[in-house]
Amino acid sequence: MIKTPYGHKVYAMAAEYQSAAALYEAAKRVRDAGFRRWDVYSAFPIHGMDEAMGLGKSWLSGWVLFGGISGLLTAALVEFGPSSILYPVDVHGKPTNFFTVPAFFPIMFELTVLFAAFAAFFAWQGMNRLPRWNHPMFNWERFSRVTNDGFFLAIEARDPRFTETGVRQLLEETGGQHITIVHED
Amino acid sequence: MDGAPAAAPEKIKEAEQRIAHVPLVLNRRNFSWLTERISGVVEQPAPRWWWVAFTITASAATFGLFCIGYLISTGVGTWGNQIPVGWAWDITNFVFWIGIGHAGTLISAILFLLHQKWRTSINRSAEAMTLFAVICAAIFPGIHVGRFWMAWYLAPVPNNWAIWQNFRSALMWDVFAVSTYFTVSVLFWYTGLVPDLASLRDRATTKIRKFLFGIFALGWRGSNRHWRHYEMAYLLLAGLSTPLVLSVHSVVSFDFASTVVPTWHSTIFPPYFVAGAIFGGFAMVLTLLLPARAIFKLQDVITPQHIDKMAKIILLTGSFVGYAYTMEFFIAWYSGNAYERFAFWNRIFGPYWWYWWFGMLFCNVLSPQLFWFRWCRYNVLVVFFVAMCVNAGMWFERFIIIAGGLARDFLPSSWRVYHPTWVDIWTYIGTLGIFTSLFLLFIRFLPMIAMSEVKTAVPEADPHHDMPLQSVSPGGKERTR
């Protein structure tokens, strides 16, 4: 655990960049330097940043598929159970057997969409470990601009390649400004 | 380009000027200007006009709720509904409101999948409009059942009579379609709001604002590792909403199409209703946004280009609707069915003749044709006029379809023309009040434009943007935590 002379735990070393383009270039350099525990912050998603950071496709879609399938099965259960077994409703003498299944499709479709949407909604929060009350990055005053027009890059102290001088030099070389140590608490 | 025939240079130049890239955010506004201007609407005290407008709309909403209370306590006899016109203003209003919602989902989902970046300026308020319209719509099926306290029976809940719903009924499909639509719209809208709530949190000057926006922003910090999952979720929600929105009005149309009433029993209904819904919804988006952009000086974000594009969608969907009307008449004639022919003859010359001539023909079919002319699309007053025509016309269309067929059904001895009572009228005005009140509250308390999305439409957001570096914003305020 790295600590400052005043005894604060160090979360990361961070820098501010002037533009999305500068942040993008810096991210590629940090990726190529082999860091693992680091992140960039911006007010909007930057196109191509996932590749620049060396991140692959998000597999959130797996949760959505799971949600959709469970919705479909729920609808099938809710419809077939009552309509075929518990309480077959005789409407105009129409059949109530399995071959009336097309009449069940609308509700199957709706519940598939509903469950998949809930899965997407909870998966993006769960996979991002949100909601959370606080985060060390918020200890940096300048960071309040991240949701306005700030572009930030932070390399965490727990990264095995983290050395104070090395990281500071890398951030300086890539054009980072206001380079600072971000405290854990 | 080697093999292309040589065109006159001045022609090429003219063509290039026409298709020249017009920026989506005018006057080269930067990120911090966008944050300041859009958050500013929420952060400044409510202007006087807001209180005046809200007082009027909230009064209408309150009186509408009183009418609903009167209806429930006294009975559906307080409405003008009588056999054979068992569905009248109630279901007209339901279809009208649910249709309006469709534009919001089209903008937020379908235009997103089609990479239409211009949607970013209008999607937030259009989605909010969707939610409020669906809230207004959901009131009517609930109260028109007569025994309001039995409305819970719409849901498949095990009960002590061991009776279950008929899941093969179009009305049951409708319950699932509308409730799913509302829920998914809320999830999609809130997902889009989170980064903007974080902006408001980071700008908050009072503790209470910081706390409340902080809670609802979920601790969002703009991390790219978060954006990665977030963007995938957003894409998938858009992909799920796209078939959903097309299904909702199709299912609504099944309520009619699966019956035997003349003018209801029609296979053209699902696409016809969906086109009409998008048509009417875009008119409502324009009705709300044209005043809002002028009042809050958002002309650099909601530009003439945006209005032009919305006008073109109204022209397109309005023409679909006009085509569907024509087809209905053609099929009525071509089918050789006497009842079908009579029903459509009755539509033009029957008791509701002026609804057809004014509402369907003038408002829905003819007025949007003005948008063939560029001048009309770029004139705010003309656009607003057409939007108001379409708002009215779509209500008339639904009423003619619903009540027109019932009022002249198969048995001439039971024919009866429907007349609304004051309760009918004020319940409808009440929902207009609920809708506008909710929208006024929305623009007061939440960012009406999706800041994080509009920022991606600014050239500097492109990581390969080679313009001189933007200075670290002069407008950004330094704050201590």
* Packing angle of the helix pair B380-399, B89-105 (nearest 10 deg): 140
Q: What is the mean pLDDT of chain B?
A: 90
- pLDDT greater than 80 at residue B176: yes
Residue in B closest to A141 by C-alpha: B480
- pLDDT greater than 60 at residue B128: yes
Of B199, B247, B453, Cβ closest to residue A148: B199
Q: Which two tokens stand for residue A182?
A: 């971000």
Q: Who's near A22: CB < 8 A, 6+ residues apart?
A: A151, A174, A175, B469
Banded model confidence at residue B19, pLDDT cuts 50, 70, 90: low
- pLDDT greater than 80 at residue B2: no
| Beta-carbon separation of A130 and B220 below 8 A | yes
In this prediction, residue B185 carries a pLDDT of 96
For chain A, the residue count is: 185
Domain-embedded: residue B30: no
**Integer angstrom CA distances of residue B424 from B26, B66, B81, B263, B472:** 46, 12, 9, 23, 58
Domain-embedded: residue B475: no
Domain-embedded: residue B8: no
Q: Which residues of B touch A66 (CB under 8 A)?
A: none
Of B32, B162, B233, Cβ closest to residue A124: B233
Distance from CA of B250 to the nearest CA of A (A): 10
Q: What is the CATH number of the domain that holds B326?
A: 1.20.1630.10
Question: Is the minimum CB–CB distance between B159 and chain A shorter than 8 Å?
Answer: no
| Beta-carbon separation of A128 and B201 below 8 A | no
In this prediction, residue B481 carries a pLDDT of 32
Percent of chain B having pLDDT more than 90?
Answer: 73
In this prediction, residue B6 carries a pLDDT of 59
Each residue of B428-478: pLDDT tens digit? 999 999 999 999 999 999 999 999 999 998 888 888 876 544 444 444 443
Each residue of A38-89: pLDDT tens digit? 999 999 999 999 999 999 999 999 999 999 999 999 999 999 888 888 888 8
Residue in A closest to B471 by C-alpha: A18
Q: For B218-303, where are the alpha helices, taking DSSP H only?
A: 224-257, 269-295
Of A39, A64, A149, Cβ closest to residue B223: A39
Q: Are B398 and B96 in contact (CB under 8 A)?
A: yes
Domain-embedded: residue B413: yes
Domain-embedded: residue B14: no
Task: Write phi, then psi, for A31 (nearest 5 degrees).
Answer: -60, -45
- pLDDT greater than 80 at residue B3: no
Domain-embedded: residue B248: yes
Distance CA B99, CA B91 (A): 12
How many inter-chain contacts (A to B, CB under 8 Å) are there?
Answer: 244
- This model of the complex carries an ipTM of 0.95
Domain-embedded: residue B40: no
Domain-embedded: residue B132: yes
Q: Are B124 and B450 in contact (CB under 8 A)?
A: yes
Q: What angle do CA B391, B396, B401 make, to 5 degrees?
A: 130
Boundaries of domain holding B365: 67-149+165-457
Q: Which two tokens stand for residue B228?
A: 């990665």
| Beta-carbon separation of B177 and A110 below 8 A | yes
The position carrying tokens 């719209």 is B185
Of A58, A116, A133, Cβ closest to residue B229: A58
Distance CA A55, CA B463 (A): 17
Residue in A closest to B190 by C-alpha: A121
How many domains are contained in chain B?
1
Distance from CA of A68 to the nearest CA of B (A): 10
Q: What is the mean pLDDT of chain A?
A: 92
